[in-house]
Amino acid sequence: MFSFKRQVGNQAETIALKYLCKHNLELIEQNYLTQAGEIDIIMLDKSEQTLVFIEVRYRQNTQFGSATESVDRHKQAKLIRTAQYYLQRHSKYQEFICRFDVVGVESYLKYPTINWIKNAFEA
């Protein structure tokens, strides 16, 4: 069954993707899933020739912290492992500079606030 939470997450990812495409990033892959974990969006920053691994987080309410604050060290480690797995299997990107960004989508999806943190953490 396709859960409501996943449906909302997909909408937030679509909003983030449109936003990032307007900022000179090109989609490489979306929802890259492995046993190690998932990367929401993988893009190429054409201005810097950088491969960007992007975690998208959604929060309708920031009472318990912002969307971007929810990417803790455990989640960062999982993203790093998944990115390493991706690079091992896609040799054409192995020489690229890599970056980890976090995009927080907050408020109601109809009128979202977007907070894009470039280079949010390092491997």
Q: Which residue has the tokens 């449109």?
A: 18
What is the average pLDDT across 82-94? 94
Task: Give tens-digit pLDDT for 100-116.
Answer: 999 999 888 888 999 99
- Sheet containing 97-106: which strands, arranged edge to edge? 25-33, 38-45, 50-59, 97-106, 113-121
Share of the chain above pLDDT 70, in %: 98
Distance CA(114)–CA(67), nearest Å, equals 10
Cβ-contact 43, 26 below 8 angstroms: yes
Distance CA(6)–CA(15), nearest Å, equals 14
Distance CA(10)–CA(85), nearest Å, equals 23
What is the average pLDDT across 85-92? 94
Residue 75 banded pLDDT, cuts 50, 70, 90: very high
Q: What is the CATH number of domain 4-121?
A: 3.40.1350.10
What is the average pLDDT across 61-75? 84
Q: Where are the domains of the chain?
A: 4-121
Beta bridge partners, 100, equal: 53, 121
What is the average pLDDT across 2-24? 88
Residue 2 banded pLDDT, cuts 50, 70, 90: low
E runs forming strands in the chain: 25-33, 38-45, 50-59, 97-106, 113-121
